[in-house]
Amino acid sequence: MISSSKRDELIVSKIRNGTVIDHIPAGRALAVLRILGIRGSEGYRVALVMNVESKKIGRKDIVKIEDRVIDEKEASLITLIAPSATINIIRDYVVTEKRHLEVPKQIRGLIKCPNPQCITNNDVEAESRFTTISIKPLKLKCEYCEIYITEDDVIRQIL
């Protein structure tokens, strides 16, 4: 899937079917793989490119996964750690769907409130709910206990 050209550029071959996640902020590709539950033993062909130049965001990571499509929950979690990412669905070597991710105004049930006293950590019926306060930098507020969490807190939960 990966080879070098005469000019020492990295070339990653096309995939027939699957998903390409592009414009991931540099250094976040491993967290994206964690969200997707990919550890390496599942049998998927995966190409991981890290810290390459990007006109859009300076430096970026790219993840290609053959024969795997990202579901909505996975896309929502990826959005929290890589709001600039795009998810491209590939079928027969052609991009058939391109999704530009956006951090939603409200996030429900995807992440946990770090406050041990929060109702969401003490009542099995209570689903976590966060309101997005800012995107750059990411700052979320628990709708129950009003504690704030950052992008680093979200990444710690994922990892």
How many whole angstroms separate alpha carbon 73 and alpha carbon 129? 15
Pair 80, 118 in one domain: no
Pair 17, 78 in one domain: yes
Q: How far is CA 82 from CA 20, 24, 56, 122, 154, in A?
A: 14, 5, 13, 30, 11
Tokens of 64: 């290609």
145 marked among binding-site residues: yes
- Point out the domain boundary residue: 59, 77, 100: 100
Give the global pTM: 0.82
pLDDT digits (tens, 9 = 90+) for 47-62: 999 988 888 788 999 9
Give the pLDDT of residue 35. 92
Instruction: Give the count of domains, the chain.
Output: 2
pLDDT digits (tens, 9 = 90+) for 68-103: 999 988 999 999 999 889 999 999 999 999 999 889
Asked if the bond preceding 25 is cis, omega within 30° of 0, the reply is no
Pair 94, 111 in one domain: no
Pair 44, 78 in one domain: yes
89 marked among binding-site residues: no
> Strand 148-150 to strand 139-142: parallel, antiparallel, or no bridges (unpaired)?
antiparallel
Pair 17, 81 in one domain: yes
Residue 21 host element (H or E) = strand 18-25
110 marked among binding-site residues: no
106 marked among binding-site residues: no
